[in-house]
Amino acid sequence: MTAFETIAGALDDLRIEVPSWAYGNSGTRFKVFGSPGTPRTVQEKISDAAAVHRVTGLTPKVALHIPWDRVEDVDALASFAADQGVELGTINSNTFQDDDFKFGGLTHHDEAIRRKAIDHHLECLDIMDRTGSRDLKIWLADGSNYPGQSDMRARQDRLADALHTIYERLGTDQRLVLEYKFFEPSFYHTDVPDWGTALTQVLALGEKAVVCLDTGHHAPGTNIEFIVMQLLRLGKLGSFDFNSRFYADDDLIVGSADPFQLFRIMVEVIRGGGFGPDADVAFMLDQCHNIEKKIPGQIRSVLNVQEMTARALLVDRPALTEAQEAGDVLGAHEIFMDAFYTDIRADLADWRADRGLPRDPMRAYAQSGYQEQIETDRVGGTPMSW
């Protein structure tokens, strides 16, 4: 039995949610470049997500963003998704694009605006009741740009109150997943800037509140896998938003900037019980394909996660533990690196073939004609964008 064969079965547990917004146009504050074939409707976004799932077998769920993906008939949308071979997943709220939220939503000093932000989340929960989604993911753009502009302490207290109201409305099997972010779009302070704050807030809520770790939302130099370890240890790691970065929240393809970091993260996920049949950590992408093609960008991303999961599973744990406890620094490091450097790509191709999937999903997509079709079909209308 090869090393890969010992882990092949475990790979069957890997599922990665794809975000509907990844298929729309995105960019920087300087320019959003358009691209042919961009979806004009949420249905077209779901179709694109399904195209990713067909060639990878990894992405059975699509996350939605409200209000971007708001529809009259949620049940019809769920049926549409099912017809495409995917399900509706996590619901993401949005309190950063309404003019009322210029100075905050759930943290706003004006009770009426705060109430509006809360109501938006209750609407999201209504939608979740229809879609059967488990997770309400909350990322807050709230913060301030200038020292003195706002009262950080009062905002934190208001946030706690607002989250409590939302939490109370959760259904039995629903979770509130609170995401943190180091900075942007606020440039002086952010109301949930770090995992400590997210943890503090969810601990005050209860068992159904957990933390979302977006891999791009940390200060330079932060040891992200340490945070993964800690949140798993505390039973509070709810989900990942995968992407990668060189500088700020660059939202590049996961694993493209620092593949070894992704490996280390997956090692801690596995070490801490965050992966496997009984684990309840949701893996999601949250990326922007500003200049590359979006569907192949998503395929590349989930393959990167799959490849690093495979490498992480290959770590020889008994040998590693032995070296660690012997104080053998170089020996332990070498065992660790051996898994990272093992080229599992050919084995994964076989693994896919065994499961009726294309050996090379990137090529399979390129040859499928799907891209040409959407570029031809999707003429007119307004391409979806942030």
The residue type at 143: G
Nearer to a copy of itself, 82 or 337 (CB): 337
Least distance CB 68 / a copy of itself (angstroms): 12
Residues contacting 369, CB < 8 A, separation 6+:
none
Torsion of CA 331, 332, 335, 337, to 10 degrees: -100
List beta partners, residue 282.
Answer: 239
CB atoms within 10 A of CB 29: 6
Instruction: Tell me which of 36, 76, 132, 145 binds a copy of itself, using CB under 8 A.
Output: 145
- List C-alpha distances in Å: 262 to 238, 254, 304, 381: 18, 8, 9, 38
**Which range binds a copy of itself by CB under 8 A, 61-69, 123-131, 163-171, 192-200?**
192-200
Least distance CB 334 / a copy of itself (angstroms): 7
Q: Does 368 engage in binding with a copy of itself (CB under 8 A)? A: no
Query: For residue 43, what are its two tokens?
Result: 């249905």
Site for a copy of itself in 4-33 (CB under 8 A): 26-31, 33
Among residues 206, 188, 46, 72, the alpha carbon closest in space to that of 130 is found at: 72
Q: Does 272 engage in binding with a copy of itself (CB under 8 A)? A: yes
Least distance CB 30 / a copy of itself (angstroms): 5
Per-residue contact flags (x/-) with a copy of itself for residues 314 to 353, judged by CB under 8 A: ------xx--xx-x-xx-xxxxxx--xxxx-x--------
Nearer to a copy of itself, 29 or 380 (CB): 29
Least distance CB 174 / a copy of itself (angstroms): 25
Site for a copy of itself in 97-136 (CB under 8 A): 97, 99, 102-103, 109-110
* Reduced 3-state DSSP string for 38-62: CCCCHHHHHHHHHHHHHHHCCCCEE
Least distance CB 80 / a copy of itself (angstroms): 28
Nearer to a copy of itself, 90 or 261 (CB): 261
Instruction: Tell me which of 200, 280, 349, 364 binds a copy of itself, using CB under 8 A.
Output: 200
Q: Does 2 engage in binding with a copy of itself (CB under 8 A)? A: no
Q: How many residues does the chain have?
A: 386
Q: For a copy of itself, how many residues bind (rule: CB under 8 A)?
A: 100
Alpha-carbon distance of 102 to 100, in angstroms, equals 6
Q: Does 252 engage in binding with a copy of itself (CB under 8 A)? A: yes
Residues contacting 111, CB < 8 A, separation 6+:
none
Alpha-carbon distance of 80 to 131, in angstroms, equals 12
Least distance CB 173 / a copy of itself (angstroms): 27
Residues contacting 103, CB < 8 A, separation 6+:
109, 144, 150
Least distance CB 353 / a copy of itself (angstroms): 20
Least distance CB 38 / a copy of itself (angstroms): 13
Site for a copy of itself in 149-178 (CB under 8 A): 149-153, 156-157
Least distance CB 261 / a copy of itself (angstroms): 8
Q: Does 86 engage in binding with a copy of itself (CB under 8 A)? A: no
Site for a copy of itself in 201-220 (CB under 8 A): 218-220
Among residues 276, 273, 284, 191, the alpha carbon closest in space to that of 236 is found at: 273
**CA quadruple 163, 164, 169, 172: dihedral positive or negative?**
positive
